[in-house]
Amino acid sequence: MKTNDPIPSRIATSGVLAVLVIDRVEDAVPVAEALLAGGVDAMELTLRTEAALPSLAAISAEVPEMMVGIGTIIDPSQVNQVVDAGGSFGVAPGTNPEVIRAAEQAGLPFAPGIMTPSDIERALQFGCEILKFFPAGSSGGLKHLKNISAPYAHLGLKYIPLGGVSLDNMSDYLTADMVAAVGGSWLAPRDLIASGDWPEITARAKAARALADQCR
Ligand code: 3PG
């Protein structure tokens, strides 16, 4: 993604991205509405279930205030499916050049995943300016991100730490200038979606929204 494109700018303004593994299409609209009610208006549906793409289409059609994208894009052939289903953006765990190129050709704002300087340089070769820092927690957290990003700080790259981020540590990340937004599955975990606990999802979104607003 480019830092000055409208969708990444909106994600950065929001500061919080809900990451979901969704099993049933009928849960898509209620979970999007629950997040929105708590002030979280950006979500990523991971391409790890059959329900992800139809859920994207349902949310795009019925919850237009939600910015909804797709994560876990690991094959270039998935990019057009994401665009056809109305995806606003794409995210991947890694820096697969074929996927990055396909997203560029399709005009899909795309954040590849990075964890090392070599990953950052590969993403830079393709002009990516907003990168998913993954897995943020187990690779060393903010300290690791600061170390690997330091050589590229003058280029204005921005990062979205994902993987092991929670309400307890999200503020640490958000206080760093190079962090565009944080996110994770704790906002709407699979078990809460399965049990239809929309009030708890709204409560988690509200708590994250409040912390993000304090940090911005
Ligand atoms: C992922 O790709 O699984 C996400 O980054 C979410 O990670 P989390 O479940 O640790 O929040």
- pTM of the entire predicted model: 0.96
162 lines ligand 1 (CB under 6 A): yes
Catalytic residues: 44, 132
- Residues 44-68: tens digit of each pLDDT: 999 999 999 999 999 999 999 999 9
105 is a domain residue: yes
195 is a domain residue: yes
203 is a domain residue: yes
Q: How far is the CA of 208 from the centre of ligand 1 (A)?
A: 16
133 lines ligand 1 (CB under 6 A): no
Domain hosting residue 166, numbered range: 6-215
Q: How far is the CA of 102 from the centre of ligand 1 (A)?
A: 23
Q: What is the DSSP string of 59-98?
A: HHHH-TTSEEEEE---STHHHHHHHHTT-S-EE-SS--HH
73 is a domain residue: yes
Ligand 1 atom closest to the Cα of residue 46 is 2
1 is a domain residue: no
Which amino acid type is present at position 6? P
38 is a domain residue: yes
- Residues 187-202: tens digit of each pLDDT: 999 999 999 999 999 9
Structure tokens at 176: 């760093």
The CATH number of the domain holding residue 59 is 3.20.20.70
Q: How far is the CA of 137 from the centre of ligand 1 (A)?
A: 10
The answer, yes or no, to whether residue 3 has pLDDT greater than 90, is no
Tell me the C-alpha distance between 8 and 30, whole Å.
Answer: 24
Measured in whole angstroms, the distance separating CA 5 from the mean position of its chain's CA atoms is: 15
Count of domains observed in the chain: 1
CA distances from 144 to 57, 117, 147, 159, 165 (A): 36, 11, 5, 12, 14
CA distances from 7 to 44, 96, 122, 216 (A): 13, 22, 22, 18
Tell me the C-alpha distance between 122 and 150, whole Å.
Answer: 16
- Residues 141-152: tens digit of each pLDDT: 999 999 999 999
201 is a domain residue: yes
Ligand 1 atom closest to the Cα of residue 135 is 5
From atom 2 of ligand 1, which residue's Cα is the shortest distance away?
163
| Averaged pLDDT for residues 29-33 | 98
Q: Which of 26, 97, 92, 93 is nearest to 62 (CA)?
A: 26
Q: Residue 46's pLDDT is what?
A: 97
The answer, yes or no, to whether residue 183 has pLDDT greater than 90, is yes
